[in-house]
Amino acid sequence: MPEIKVTPLGAGQDVGRSCILVSIGGKNIMLDCGMHMGFNDDRRFPDFSYIIQNGRLTDFLDCVIISHFHLDHCGALPYMSEMVGYDGPIYMTHPTKAICPILLEDFRKITVDKKGETNFFTSQMIKDCMKKVIPLNLHQTVQVDDELEIKAYYAGHVLGAAMVQIKVGSESVVYTGDYNMTPDRHLGAAWIDKCRPDILISESTYATTIRDSKRCRERDFLKKVHETIERGGKVLIPVFALGRAQELCILLETFWERMNLKAPIYFSTGLTEKANHYYKLFITWTNQKIRKTFVQRNMFEFKHIKAFDRSYADNPGPMVVFATPGMLHAGQSLQIFKKWAGNEKNMVIMPGYCVQGTIGHKILNGQRKLEMEGRATLDVKLQVEYMSFSAHADAKGIMQLIRMAEPRNMLLVHGEAVKMEFLKGKIEQEFSIDCYMPANGETATVTTNPSVPVDISLNLLKREMALGGPLPDPKKPRTMHGTLIMKENSLKLVSSEQALKELGLNEHQLRFTCRVQLQDPHSDSETLHRVYTHLKSVLKGYTIQHLSDGTVMVESIVIKISPSAEDASTKVILLSWSYQDEDLGSFLSNLLKKGLPSGLG
């Protein structure tokens, strides 16, 4: 039987470093190629040695697909293509192709220029890597080669995020990347058609969470920001440049406008200006409301939000600062955090998921003394708040997607093992499908039942319809009798007469004969009449005839009687039928074996 194999090189029972290998119909596809925020050693990138014991990646992979521009999904791409070696096609959507190199260059600057790491990809490598990218449009089927085709669906989450369907022949896999099933202030909800893939590979970041209403969360967020500003404190909101940042900017912008607040809001510069530029450029990827109001005013041109300069962090008085990156593991957000951490008037609001090993994760777990670089310790006195404005699907959203796509099997990645285990149980219970959750380097193998397309002759269909009975129910299979002909790799179901004609063969009639012994003291003709009467009373709606040549016919079945040589009261009943009436023939032989009831005329 054909098999599909899925092996995570990253994001197997873990969040970060997404990189999933799929082998389907003899093709090998890499889904995402990310880095891990929590590590600075060789665990930062996926372990490609798994697939390149000998030779380059090009020899092994048929294509690479990137779901969206977040670094935990694309951060290892230049390393993989330029340093490990891959020259094949890389697919991503237009917005991802535009934004990905900006984030990669920013990541390179922080790692190489600021931290001074060597063994890392260069700016030139990022450019060379992006030359291999082929952009995807939504709902467009792209032929990678003669057999492999891919199609992208809208995933919400961030600008340009896509889910992908991979198809080889009749086998298919859908990979969600990161997705969001509820629309927000600037993006729509994920959507996919009922494509019934063999495997649906889904993220499970919030596998055990069912989030409260979005409105309550937003109210809570604005209240906390407002209270801190009122008491003269500073609010730091660490964000990734694209996605939640725009969401929260729109929220604060409208609140400041409504409340007529004067405290400054800043956004760490560079990256986000470019980000907003792309949001304007790819306005069609945002939600309906933004597209409608776009003509009157662009939601991404902010009146109250100004560019941030490093020196502003020391300014007295209240302020709100959005700074990158989102988990406080490096960059500007960490610099500001160090300056503001010692004052209890200040607040840091973590608006999304934090990977283990990052400062964000440590402070959310209540750590109040942090070891920084160079053995220094930092006392955390400011208030720490966690508010999930994450654009990942929660447990309810994941279940909703399964209902939409109706997969035959489910596979979870991009989540923590304990939470995955819980969701796996829920999925198996509710949908009665197998759910897999392989760890990194582990392979999940799913056997597929490929459907074989068969053409059917119109005459045969008409004849089946004419036989009466209810119209076929699409949900219930119906048996059809015909002859299967294979010609030039295609299959055709035709009537047996047509098959004989096409193949130039003579028809042979095949009949089955069966002997049943019966105890009956009457004469042969009387016994036959008794059999006829018995069958008339049992078989309603069948054609039963008593013929003058001493036989009884039931449809095509012939029943005769011959006396036994040993004993006149023992009769031998001969039954003969054609294969079409096999079921009825075996029913009659079993009925007559039980004998004739007394009192028959």
Residues carrying an active site annotation = 203
Which DSSP helix (H) or strand (E) runs through 64?
A: strand 63-65
Closest CA to 19 of 86, 71, 89: 71
Inter-residue contact 324 to 70 (CB < 8 Å): no
Q: How far apart are CA 354 and CA 439, in angstroms?
A: 20
Supply the DSSP string of 254-270, one letter for each residue. Answer: HHHHHHT--S-EEEETT
For 353, residues 6+ apart whose C-beta sits below 8 A from its C-beta are: 15, 205, 206, 388, 390, 392
Inter-residue contact 18 to 10 (CB < 8 Å): yes
Q: How far apart are CA 261 and CA 117, in angstroms?
A: 43
Q: How far apart are CA 440 and CA 9, in angstroms?
A: 5
Cβ count within 10 A of residue 291: 14
Write down how long the chain is: 601
Q: How far apart are CA 362 and CA 382, in angstroms?
A: 14
How far the first Cα of the chain sits from its last, in Å, is: 59
Residue 460 half-sphere exposure toward CB, CA atoms < 13 A:
17
Q: Is the dihedral of CA 72, 77, 78, 83 positive or negative?
A: positive
**Antiparallel, parallel or unpaired: β 490-494 and 511-519:** unpaired
Q: How far apart are CA 323 and CA 339, in angstroms?
A: 13
Residue 147 tokens, joined: 């057999």
Output the CA–CA distances (angstroms, integers) from residue 98 to 34, 131, 264, 278, 480, in the order listed.
Answer: 17, 12, 31, 8, 55
Supply the DSSP string of 174-212, one letter for each residue. Answer: EE--S--SS--SS-----------SEEEEE-TBTT----
Inter-residue contact 224 to 216 (CB < 8 Å): no
Closest CA to 434 of 1, 2, 4: 4
Q: How far apart are CA 134 and CA 89, in angstroms?
A: 7
Q: How far apart are CA 551 and CA 395, in angstroms?
A: 70
Closest CA to 324 of 180, 109, 112, 18: 109
Residue 89 tokens, joined: 């096609």
Place of tokens 């096409």: 502
